[in-house]
Amino acid sequence: MNWKLRALVLALALLVFGTAVQAADLELYVKNRPFQGATVTRGGQLHAELGTLLQAIGYSWTLDGTRVDISRRSGGGPALVGSDLQLSLDGKPLALSLVEVQGRGFVSLVDLARVMGLSYRPMPALGMADLNVPVSRIQVSQTPAASDAPASPGGSAASEPGKPASDGSKAPGMVETDGTNRLSPIQILKTDFSDSTTPGTSFVGEVRTSTSIRNGSDKPLEKVTLHLRLMNLANEVVHEWTHPIGLMRPGAQVDFTPEPPVWYNYNRIQVTPKVIVEHQLQSEPEKEAPPEGQDGGGR
């Protein structure tokens, strides 16, 4: 009986060895959030379940037989089964090979990032990997109008890291304030901030911040844009979220929390939040002309 049992165990082991894939050795984050789908490692590369991955990125898709048409609009789509799927993005074919794991299609993160223009960074030393959709980058010294400020799907745009903070707006007719500019009625009500970074360790901290602003005047403000920045000790911008607001009515309040709400402090540096708001300069109230025959000086 023992030799039969040993033979059965050996046969099962060979079957598993020949068909299974290695469990993922890296924890995957997509757009700075832990990936909720299945991941495996095959051929030394991290793979993730295609459908769940596309939905986490913020894409949608349609399925016609084995043809999968992917769109950059969020919404997800039908289940993607098998490894013979033909993928296209915005109508253009994608040269992607899938592997089948338990009937589901899995894709290499390296290959997906390459053909879809995504940002993928494996970090074995930290036991994690990041997949992100690159957002439009702006120069901090520029002052775009709210209507043309580049924004990510979450309503914010990232700045170029390492740029010094600007002192004032250079755009004609615009004003910039951190809440202290006498030319601006913007009030910065509060800015919440937390950073779990532990200096001197390999732990990557999570930075969370949010802010609230108010138009403190009795007139509307136009072309309002809010910048929530993370500054290093050299007063340089290491990250920025830009939130186009547009029109703020008298007394209006805007509460802003970045999306995604977590910034990972991979460099483990000390950062502090800073809020900058820019808007169109309010016109001075016109003075009424004195009645005819009076010089307005009084006697």
Reading the chain (299 residues) residue by residue, the pLDDT tens digits are 555 555 554 455 444 433 444 556 788 988 767 888 899 998 889 999 999 999 988 889 999 999 999 988 878 899 888 888 999 998 889 988 899 888 889 999 999 999 888 888 888 887 888 888 754 322 333 333 333 333 333 344 544 444 444 444 456 789 999 999 999 999 999 999 988 887 666 677 889 899 999 999 999 999 999 999 999 888 888 899 999 999 999 999 999 989 878 888 877 788 999 999 999 988 765 555 555 555 544 43
Cα–Cα nearest to 271, from 164, 162, 190, 195: 195
- Give the DSSP per-residue string, 226-287: EEEEEE-TTSEEEEEEEEEEEEE-TT-EEEE--SSS-EEETT----EEEEEEEEEPPPPPPP
Domains, the chain: 19-132 (no CATH), 137-280 (2.60.40)
The pTM assigned to this predicted structure is 0.45
Query: In the chain, how long is the greatest CA-to-CA distance?
Result: 123
Q: Answer for the pair 105, 129: CB distance below 8 angstroms, yes or no.
A: no
